[in-house]
Chain A
Amino acid sequence: MQAVLKLTKYIRPYIVFAIIAPVMMLIEVGMDLLQPTILQHIIDDGISQGDTSYIIKMFGLMMGTSMIALIGGIGCSVYASKTAVNFATDLRQDLYETITYFSNNSKDKFTLGKLITNLTSDVEMLQRAVTMLLKIFVRGPMMFIGAVVIVFVTARELFPILLVVVPILAFAMYFFTSLSGKLFHKVQRVVDQVNTKVQENLAGIRVIKAYNRKNHQIEQFTDVNTQLMKRSMTADQIIGVLAPLTMFVVNLGIVAALWLGAIKVESETIKVGVILAFINYLMMVMQGLMSSSMVLVQLARAIPSAGRIVEVLDEKADIQSPNQPVQNSVRGEVEFQQVSFSYIKGTEPVLKNVNFHAKAGETIGIIGMTGSGKSTLVKMVSRLFDVDQGVVKIDGVPIQQYDVEQLRQSIGFAPQKATLFSKTIADNIRYGNEMASDDRLEEALLAACATEFIEKLPSGKEHLLTQGATNLSGGQKQRLAMARAFIRKPAILVLDDVTSAVDSISEKKIQQAIEKQFGQATKFIVSSKISSIRHADQILVMDDGQIVACGSHEELLKTNSMYQEIDKTQEGKGGTLHD
């Protein structure tokens, strides 16, 4: 609930709309509520007196109120939509901005999939809730209350009927609403299971076919499918009781009205029109209750969405630029002093007491087994994470003193996972540097050994990549990701195992190009292959979060047993023949 309150600030700019909408709805409900009373007067005063002009007057009144109700209803709809759409748009924008500045820690904490859900379905859910809140949540209760009050004032003789009918209706609705919540929660769980099964079977169809597991898979599916059928059937059938039940209760109210009415008319305490009006109000009471309960269910569903969104909005951006960042541009000297870091605080660190010093222009090779902390180490250079202990310095200045944006601008980073956007190849490379000339683009592609395969594509550099670049091979994606880093001409170049899927001949060419074009830049090259880092000025051998050795290829071959072992396993393996 507190989450909901926090989100009200997004309504505030549209508070006028948010007030007009329910007011307009009140007008509509008010007019609707007048109708049965007018009807009663037409019957009891008009017909029984034979007063035609009175009837026409009343008829005019009815038409008039209907028109006003129409205006009210449309007005409410307009302003409710205005409020809800504006609310949702602003909220979405804020949410997106917050998420965009999330640190890796926060992204991991929420997971990307959930963040996407927050931005899409959660926001939409809230938008719908706001619309309902302004429209139906006003209409329902008001209609209910209004009808009850009018009956109490104008048809008190029949009021006892409401005293019986309303509690029964209210209880039945409460009971079935909460029951349906529970039942559909159960159904939803099976629905999820069915969806997961289908999704997996589609994604894993090759494996299933290769292992000839069709029948096994069908058997598993039959289980969940049967369960889904049973649970849905039970849920729907139980919930199906509500409609006939309310109908029955209301109809009994009508019967009672006729019964009681007959007695009261005979004793001349009421007139016939009152009975008719009462029946109409009874319907309104039911409608009011019914729509209120439905809206309540919807609103209840929106509350978790609100909670999730507020949680994201409240997440502090933990990596921020200092108020007065240093102004000097980055040359490329990088120093780690006693750096320790763990992704989840309190658990075993991923980096332990890491020390090294890279002079500007040097090539630093980083080698080690999967999980030894290589990627984490280079990510610290871009300040994707802040150290737990120790300090990372660039050009002798602690990294936290730089403006984050400026720092990252001066780094060309090709991450391990070569993610590309669904844009053209040229646009993807220019992502690294929008101002780059065509020549520079060519140069970057050439350096990454990407020119050859691009030329074979029908539309060359203008080739449009699919989402996730599924129409490219792993090696091709890696080349493009490298070109995107190259085009920046950065002071620090980080290549995080980006040649794993590139054939050895191309890799060699790429190494030469880097040497030639990025002589000034400090280069970090992460790899599990010795051939990728053999020529580095310094090679850091990592194991279990620590730098166990440091030196040139020749030095390490002499002194470090682990490096020797790696070299031995890779020796004579040659390279890779093709992507």
Chain B
Amino acid sequence: MTKNPVGPPSTMGHPGGRFTGPVVKPKNQKQTLLRIWSYLKLQKVELISVIIIVVMSTLLSLVGPFLIGKTIDDYIVKLDVNGAVKMALVLAGIYIASSVLTWVQTFVMIRISQKTIYRIRQQLFEQYQSLPLAFFDQRKQGDLMSRMTNDIENLNAALSQSVIQIVSSFLTIVGTAFALFYLDWMLALVTLTVIPLIVWATKQIIKRSSVNYKERQRNLGALNGYIEETISNADIITLFGKEKQSIEEFREANEKLRTSAMRADTISGFMGPINNFMNNLGLSLVIGTGAIMAVTSGLSIGVIASFVTYTRQFFRPINQLSNLLNTFQSAIAGSERVFEILDESQEVADVTNAKVKNTFAGNVTFQNVDFAYEQGKPILHGIDFHAQAGETIAIVGPTGSGKTTIIQLLTRFYDATGGRILLDGEPIEHYQMSNVRDHVGVVLQDTYLFSGTVRENIRFGKLDATNEEVEEAAKVAFAHNYIKYLPEQYETVLTSGGLNLSQGQRQLIAIARAILEDPDLLILDEATSSVDTMTEVHIQKGLSNLMKGRTSFVIAHRLKTIENANQILVINEGKIVERGNHQTLMNNQGFYAALQSQLMA
């Protein structure tokens, strides 16, 4: 079993590597390849040198077996020790050179691929930051995540290894074929007969495993989904005493996986032994035929030796090539998924000469504003109101009526599809988007905290805030009260999502964040919904300090908050059905009054 290593050795004991599951085929291979090339082009010099080096190192590796045969024929068989030693030295020199070249090519290629991957990763991240919210509404977070991780990783693997391997395998195959024919065309023909056999066998296995692998992956997916859901909801299972039932359901899914996994694993496991067999078969053919030819037509032992060495060098890349192409295809498919995101249109760009204001007075006017997330499904129609600077506007209405959408138009998370929104008398699109967002403070319904300390999370509202400012804001938000009891106070490290705090505590940090930002307009989207009523009273005090002198939009469900608003907009099915202050609305005897009286009953 001669095996002259070219490139990195195969990872498994069997020649031919392993089967890695069905290949995801790219949709538009050519275009994607061109696009990958456009990144690689940035490192043209390195890339060209790699290709030159690969050619050189492959050629050198072709010389080795040839010289071995020659040494045997011309010197060893003829008992010329001095000549043999000389040849050995030449051979040693070639091997040194080829090892060094191989390392250099890997070194440079890794550099190229890592830099490329870095660029793509960076671009993708920046793209995520620049996409409109509507994009995130339609996509699953896990999917976006896997584009950043798996897909890019696939490309990395392909670039750093497969490119070199594919080129060198190809060169090796062609070069070896030449050498074989040069040495002895008849024996070469015999050797080549094995190739169709290898290709056929590989295809058969891949065909069969793909089917089984898909089934296996499906079952595994189903099982993992079941695990995730039942373990996350384990409380309910315990409370309702459903342990036996869920164990049985699990068993069913588990058994399905047992069957399909067994089939898939077994068949793909055939790849190794079969490749091994093909190699042995090739070797036997070469040796058998070669020996007979040696006896009958005087073929030299050296040529047989060269053939034996070449054969291995020849079959290995053929075994690997299909695998390599698979890796490469997954990489292209992965890149395609990444490029797909990069091609999504970003948030609308600012108009030319967009305005920038240092402070906003806070006059907000909605003129006949329409909005739809999807065409034909309007969420808001004909919204019309005016908020005087400094006023508090309460927005009430049932779930799904469009309350949140109204305030999302104010932060330009979305742009109105009809009508105009004026900020200090100027259409909101005329300002730089960043300028508007810098001056509008938002406390969202579902607070998000980043991993990092409490202090860093509050400071998110104003990046250059001093420690004192941070703590001052926390005090106003009544967050200081519990923060001082945390193990490390303001330096307590929060987990991703802030899950080690209660929902109410997270809300308080979000409020502190908004307070620190000191915005000209304030938006509170059910900001106190998850805080217990006693705490809420405290926060309300903080919030009313904050709201003083600023135009504030409040989506609240507690009537008390609403009562004090300057204006109340009652929204139903995307329209303002009633407006006025608490008193006028009560006198109107409409929707609002009806709700109130039902509560008092």
Interface size class of B (residues with CB under 8 A): 35 or more
Instruction: Report the nearest B residue to A42, measured CB to CB.
Output: B291
Instruction: Report the nearest B residue to A49, measured CB to CB.
Output: B295
- Chain A interface main SS type: helix
Task: A78 to B269: give the CA distance in the assembly, Å.
Answer: 7
Interface-forming stretch among B356-364, B384-392, B530-538, B542-550?
A: B530-538
Given A69-B276, A225-B118, A576-B558, A431 and B240 contact (CB-CB distance below 8 Å): yes
Instruction: Report the nearest A residue to B246, measured CB to CB.
Output: A100
Residues of chain A within 8 A of B312, CB atoms compared: 283
Q: By the criterion CB–CB under 8 Å, are B231 and A115 in contact?
A: yes
Interface-forming stretch among A153-161, A175-183, A339-347, A413-421?
A: A413-421
Within 8 Å by CB of B1, from A243, A280, A473, lies A280
Task: A143 to B596: give the CA distance in the assembly, Å.
Answer: 85
Residues of chain A within 8 A of B399, CB atoms compared: 473, 475-476, 578-579
Q: By the criterion CB–CB under 8 Å, are A258 and B71 in contact?
A: yes
B132-172 near A? 1/0 per residue, CB < 8 Å: 01001000010011001100000010001000000000000
The answer, yes or no, to whether B373 is at the interface (CB within 8 Å) is: no
Q: By the criterion CB–CB under 8 Å, are B595 and A577 in contact?
A: yes
The answer, yes or no, to whether A353 is at the interface (CB within 8 Å) is: no
Instruction: Report the nearest B residue to A75, measured CB to CB.
Output: B273
Q: By the criterion CB–CB under 8 Å, are B227 and A240 in contact?
A: no
Q: By the criterion CB–CB under 8 Å, are B234 and A107 in contact?
A: yes
Q: By the criterion CB–CB under 8 Å, are B239 and A528 in contact?
A: no
The answer, yes or no, to whether A422 is at the interface (CB within 8 Å) is: yes
Interface residues of B in 204-239 (CB under 8 A from A): 224-225, 227-239
Tell me the smallest distance from the CB of B266 to a CB of chain A, in Å: 4
The answer, yes or no, to whether B99 is at the interface (CB within 8 Å) is: yes
The answer, yes or no, to whether A462 is at the interface (CB within 8 Å) is: no
Task: A255 to B247: give the CA distance in the assembly, Å.
Answer: 63
Given A207-B448, A529-B533, A139 and B558 contact (CB-CB distance below 8 Å): no
Interface centre among B3, B13, B246 (most CB of A within 10 A): B13
The answer, yes or no, to whether B117 is at the interface (CB within 8 Å) is: yes
Task: A28 to B269: give the CA distance in the assembly, Å.
Answer: 14
The answer, yes or no, to whether B12 is at the interface (CB within 8 Å) is: yes
Given A259-B85, A262-B76, A574-B559, A59 and B288 contact (CB-CB distance below 8 Å): yes
Task: A413 to B240: give the CA distance in the assembly, Å.
Answer: 8
Q: By the criterion CB–CB under 8 Å, are A229 and B115 in contact?
A: yes
Tell me the smallest distance from the CB of B79 to a CB of chain A, in Å: 5
The answer, yes or no, to whether B450 is at the interface (CB within 8 Å) is: yes
The answer, yes or no, to whether A184 is at the interface (CB within 8 Å) is: no
Q: By the criterion CB–CB under 8 Å, are A100 and B237 in contact?
A: yes
Q: By the criterion CB–CB under 8 Å, are A210 and B273 in contact?
A: no
Given A62-B287, A229-B117, A73 and B231 contact (CB-CB distance below 8 Å): no
Within 8 Å by CB of A80, from B122, B269, B280, lies B269
The answer, yes or no, to whether A188 is at the interface (CB within 8 Å) is: no
The answer, yes or no, to whether B5 is at the interface (CB within 8 Å) is: yes
Within 8 Å by CB of A243, from B75, B106, B274, B532, lies B106
The answer, yes or no, to whether A254 is at the interface (CB within 8 Å) is: yes
Task: A411 to B145: give the CA distance in the assembly, Å.
Answer: 41
Q: By the criterion CB–CB under 8 Å, are B291 and A210 in contact?
A: no
Interface residues of B in 76-113 (CB under 8 A from A): 76-77, 79-81, 84-85, 87-89, 91-92, 95-96, 98-100, 102-103, 106-107, 110-111
The answer, yes or no, to whether B425 is at the interface (CB within 8 Å) is: no
Within 8 Å by CB of B239, from A82, A214, A240, A413, lies A413
Interface residues of A in 402-439 (CB under 8 A from B): 404-405, 408-409, 411, 413, 415, 417, 419-422, 431-432
Residues of chain B within 8 A of A275, CB atoms compared: 72, 76
The answer, yes or no, to whether A333 is at the interface (CB within 8 Å) is: no
Tell me the smallest distance from the CB of A404 to a CB of chain B, in Å: 8
Q: By the criterion CB–CB under 8 Å, are A210 and B440 in contact?
A: yes
Residues of chain A within 8 A of B243, CB atoms compared: 100-101, 405
A354-388 near B? 1/0 per residue, CB < 8 Å: 00000000000000011100000000001010000
Q: By the criterion CB–CB under 8 Å, are B75 and A89 in contact?
A: no
15 additional contacts (CB under 8 A) given A89-B254, A104-B238, A216-B463: A59-B287, A78-B269, A207-B447, A236-B114, A240-B103, A245-B103, A295-B13, A415-B239, A432-B240, A503-B557, A528-B532, A574-B600, A577-B559, A577-B562, A579-B557
Q: By the criterion CB–CB under 8 Å, are A252 and B92 in contact?
A: yes
Task: A5 to B13: give the CA distance in the assembly, Å.
Answer: 26
Interface residues of A in 206-233 (CB under 8 A from B): 206-214, 216-218, 221-222, 225-226, 228-229, 232-233
Residues of chain A within 8 A of B451, CB atoms compared: 196, 200
Q: By the criterion CB–CB under 8 Å, are B283 and A405 in contact?
A: no
Q: By the criterion CB–CB under 8 Å, are A206 and B398 in contact?
A: no
Interface residues of A in 536-579 (CB under 8 A from B): 565-566, 569-570, 572-579
Q: By the criterion CB–CB under 8 Å, are A136 and B12 in contact?
A: yes
Q: By the criterion CB–CB under 8 Å, are A195 and B149 in contact?
A: yes
Q: By the criterion CB–CB under 8 Å, are A572 and B76 in contact?
A: no
Task: A218 to B129: give the CA distance in the assembly, Å.
Answer: 8
Residues of chain A within 8 A of B599, CB atoms compared: 504-505, 574-575, 577
Interface-forming stretch among B36-44, B255-263, B416-424, B468-476?
A: B255-263
Q: By the criterion CB–CB under 8 Å, are B241 and A62 in contact?
A: no
Interface residues of B in 516-543 (CB under 8 A from A): 517, 529-535, 537
Task: A148 to B72: give the CA distance in the assembly, Å.
Answer: 23
Task: A51 to B9: give the CA distance in the assembly, Å.
Answer: 38
The answer, yes or no, to whether B350 is at the interface (CB within 8 Å) is: no
The answer, yes or no, to whether A77 is at the interface (CB within 8 Å) is: yes
Within 8 Å by CB of B121, from A69, A101, A225, A286, lies A225
Task: A232 to B156: give the CA distance in the assembly, Å.
Answer: 11
Given A210-B444, A505-B595, A569 and B287 contact (CB-CB distance below 8 Å): no
Residues of chain B within 8 A of A331, CB atoms compared: none
Pick 11 A–B contacts, CB within 8 A, sort by A: A47-B304, A86-B258, A198-B145, A203-B497, A236-B110, A262-B81, A286-B3, A291-B12, A503-B557, A573-B558, A576-B559
Residues of chain B within 8 A of A569, CB atoms compared: 533-534, 537
The answer, yes or no, to whether B33 is at the interface (CB within 8 Å) is: no
Task: A244 to B100: give the CA distance in the assembly, Å.
Answer: 7
Instruction: Report the nearest B residue to A51, measured CB to CB.
Output: B295
Q: By the criterion CB–CB under 8 Å, are B598 and A505 in contact?
A: yes
Residues of chain A within 8 A of B535, CB atoms compared: 369-370
Task: A575 to B539: give the CA distance in the assembly, Å.
Answer: 18
Q: By the criterion CB–CB under 8 Å, are A52 and B276 in contact?
A: no
Task: A95 to B383: give the CA distance in the assembly, Å.
Answer: 57
Top 5 A-B pairs, shortest CB-CB distance: A73-B273, A77-B269, A59-B288, A262-B84, A574-B559
Given A262-B81, A408-B239, A287 and B129 contact (CB-CB distance below 8 Å): no
Q: By the criterion CB–CB under 8 Å, are A62 and B265 in contact?
A: no
Task: A246 to B382: give the CA distance in the assembly, Å.
Answer: 75
Within 8 Å by CB of A70, from B12, B87, B276, lies B276
Interface residues of A in 438-467 (CB under 8 A from B): 467
Given A39-B308, A81-B265, A96-B227, A66 and B144 contact (CB-CB distance below 8 Å): no
Task: A36 to B156: give the CA distance in the assembly, Å.
Answer: 39
Q: By the criterion CB–CB under 8 Å, are A201 and B128 in contact?
A: yes
Tell me the smallest distance from the CB of B36 to a CB of chain A, in Å: 17
Q: By the criterion CB–CB under 8 Å, are B444 and A206 in contact?
A: yes
Task: A211 to B517: give the CA distance in the assembly, Å.
Answer: 8
The answer, yes or no, to whether A320 is at the interface (CB within 8 Å) is: no
Tell me the smallest distance from the CB of A408 to a CB of chain B, in Å: 4
The answer, yes or no, to whether B396 is at the interface (CB within 8 Å) is: yes
Given A47-B295, A243-B5, A247-B102, A233 and B276 contact (CB-CB distance below 8 Å): no
Interface centre among A195, A237, A247, A528 (most CB of B within 10 A): A247
The answer, yes or no, to whether B375 is at the interface (CB within 8 Å) is: no
